[in-house]
């Protein structure tokens, strides 16, 4: 590990002390700046120890500088266990006593007592509005310390054994040290301000994404309520009308025809309700990690659809290639396949010489590619960008709820996959679904899905 990395980690660990107690990003920036300021001041005081020795000061001054350095470092501990206002109060308290000590030790000519002006400005800016009691306690303390300095003629702790030349040199050193501290503090403030701005930009970006998602949800909800009320009432109204006609009809053959029409309306209603249930489940349920045997899943779905009137007139087949374990959410996978197969059957072209629908599956360690291909009526190019929208129908006279492909797309995205369409009007359509393998060691079962290249044809 490099020295730079060690220093960076140490600096970040020190800076973050007490940030868990903060409720806003602004407070976090404030605490970080406070911690970093305390460290800079403490290091500066420690660096002054060999300088005061060189200028002929006694061991007493070195010990006092060390104690003030410890006082500044205690700010970090205060921030960690208490609210940052007490850390702020501690750092200004140390600064006030340090100025008092230097002024009474080195005398009036050192001009260090002017530091009370800077400290008072800092106290006012940081404490006056938010923490008035702490503000007044420090201002009263500063007033007492300044009064004590003038009362004792700046000689309470005077180092009389030090020459005026050494004190003058120390004044110059203090000036440049103060200049360095101010520069470093400015850099620290700017750096933390930039971090705050970056976090606020990320937060704003997240809010914009959430607003977009809410806008989409609201639009879909409006459309959902309108379309559901219409699509639920249509088959019910149709059935009620057929019942009324049946009651007035004496010819049994006509009544039987009405019964078939009622059955068709009720099947339509049942399909629509099933799609609503799928939509709700996909929206609300967590992703499950199931071991998928694609051959059996596709066989079941084709079998479920094989008894409809249109399905009996087309050839349905599957080609599954799976030689590795695949983990995904079986419920959502069945939603996707069910809606794509149902869509292919619904829009098959029975005027074709050999209408067909084929499901091709290729499974790898990383993903599965599923293609549902038919030679049906196809999709007009201008509609291909809208077919995955909720309740979209190319024509109002078309059968179907307009939910199937929307559910397929939403379920695919839930599984972090992609769905695309390639269609030519009058020639057929191919839907391609790519899903990642959600394989995890804890989800593996002892039984291993195996399979060779299999092809099953169902001519119905």
Q: How many domains are there within the chain?
A: 2
DSSP per position, 102-116: HHHHH-GGG-GGGHH
Strands (E), 216-325: 290-291, 315-321
Torsion angle in degrees (nearest 10) through CA of 92, 104, 158, 112: 90
Q: Which of 133, 162, 191 is the last residue of a domain?
A: 162
Cα distance between residue 27 and residue 333, in whole Å: 47
**pLDDT-derived band at 128, boundaries 50, 70, 90:** confident
Main-chain dihedrals φ then ψ at residue 172, nearest 5 degrees: -65, -45
Q: By C-alpha distance, which of 454, 414, 452, 459 is closest to 433?
A: 414
Q: Which of 116, 139, 162 is the last residue of a domain?
A: 162
Decide if 38 contacts 75 (C-beta within 8 A): yes
Higher pLDDT, 254 or 53: 254
Give the Å distances, CA to CA, from 241 to 233, 234, 246, 258, 400: 12, 11, 9, 10, 21
The owner of tokens 């054994």 is 161
pLDDT at 419: 94
- Which of the given ranges, 1-15, 119-133, 353-367, has the highest pLDDT on average? 353-367
Q: Which of 132, 162, 192 is the last residue of a domain?
A: 162
Full domain range(s) for residue 61: 3-162
Which CATH number characterizes residue 363's domain? Answer: 3.30.565.10
Cα distance between residue 423 and residue 412, in whole Å: 19
Residue 131 domain-assigned? yes
**Kind of pairing between the strands at 315-321 and 356-363:** parallel
Residue 449 domain-assigned? yes
pLDDT at residue 438 greater than cutoff 80: yes
Question: 300 and 157, same structural domain?
Answer: no
What DSSP designation does 69 have?
A: H
pLDDT tens track for 247-270? 887 788 887 887 877 777 777 677
Residue 105 domain-assigned? yes
Cα distance between residue 328 and residue 323, in whole Å: 16
H helices, E strands: number in the chain: 11, 8
Residue 319 domain-assigned? yes
**pLDDT-derived band at 295, boundaries 50, 70, 90:** very high
What DSSP designation does 454 have?
A: E
pLDDT tens track for 151-206? 888 777 766 556 666 666 666 666 556 555 556 556 555 665 666 667 677 778 88
Decide if 26 contacts 124 (C-beta within 8 A): no
Residue 170 domain-assigned? no
Residue 265 domain-assigned? no
CB atoms within 10 A of CB 220: 15
Residue 212 domain-assigned? no
């Amino acid at each position: 590990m490099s020295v730079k990395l060690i220093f960076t980690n140490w600096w970040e660990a020190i800076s973050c002390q007490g940030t868990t107690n903060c409720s806003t990003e602004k407070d976090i920036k404030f605490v970080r700046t406070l911690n970093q300021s305390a460290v800079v001041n403490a290091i500066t005081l420690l660096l002054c120890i060999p300088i005061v020795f060189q200028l002929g000061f006694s061991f007493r001054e070195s010990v006092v500088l060390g104690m003030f350095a410890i006082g500044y470092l205690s700010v970090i501990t205060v921030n960690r266990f208490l609210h940052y206002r007490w850390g702020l109060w501690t750092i200004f308290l140390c600064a006030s006593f340090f100025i008092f000590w230097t002024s009474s030790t080195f005398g009036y000519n050192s001009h260090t007592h002017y530091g009370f002006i800077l400290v008072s400005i800092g106290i006012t800016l940081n404490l006056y509005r938010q923490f008035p009691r702490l503000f007044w306690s420090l201002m009263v303390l500063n007033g007492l310390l300044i009064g004590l300095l003038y009362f004792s003629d700046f000689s309470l702790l005077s180092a009389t054994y030090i020459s005026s030349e050494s004190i003058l040199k120390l004044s110059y050193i203090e000036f440049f040290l103060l200049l360095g501290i101010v520069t470093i503090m400015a850099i620290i403030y700017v750096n933390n301000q930039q971090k705050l701005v970056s976090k606020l930009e990320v937060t704003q970006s997240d809010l914009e994404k959430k607003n977009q998602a809410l806008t989409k949800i609201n639009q879909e909800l409006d459309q959902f309520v309108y379309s559901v009320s219409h699509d639920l009432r249509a088959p019910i109204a149709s059935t009620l009308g057929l019942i009324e006609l049946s009651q007035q009809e004496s010819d049994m053959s006509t009544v039987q025809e009405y019964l078939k029409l009622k059955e068709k309306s009720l099947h339509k209603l049942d399909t629509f309700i099933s799609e609503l249930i799928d939509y709700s489940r996909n929206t609300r349920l967590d992703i499950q990690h199931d071991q998928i045997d694609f051959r059996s899943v596709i066989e079941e779905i084709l079998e479920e659809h094989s008894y409809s009137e249109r399905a009996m007139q087309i050839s349905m087949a599957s080609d599954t290639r799976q030689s590795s374990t695949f983990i995904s959410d079986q419920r959502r996978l069945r939603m996707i396949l069910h809606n794509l197969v149902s869509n292919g059957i619904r829009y098959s072209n029975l005027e074709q010489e050999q209408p067909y629908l084929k499901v091709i599956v290729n499974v790898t360690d990383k993903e599965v590619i599923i293609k549902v291909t038919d030679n049906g009526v196809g999709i007009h190019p201008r509609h291909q960008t809208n077919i995955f929208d909720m309740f979209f129908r190319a024509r109002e006279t078309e059968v179907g709820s307009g939910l199937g492909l929307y559910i397929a797309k939403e379920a695919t995205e839930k599984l972090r996959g992609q769905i695309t369409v390639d269609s030519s009007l009058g020639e057929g359509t191919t839907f391609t679904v790519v899903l990642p393998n959600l394989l995890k060691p804890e989800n593996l079962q002892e039984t291993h899905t195996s399979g060779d290249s299999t092809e099953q044809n169902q001519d119905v």
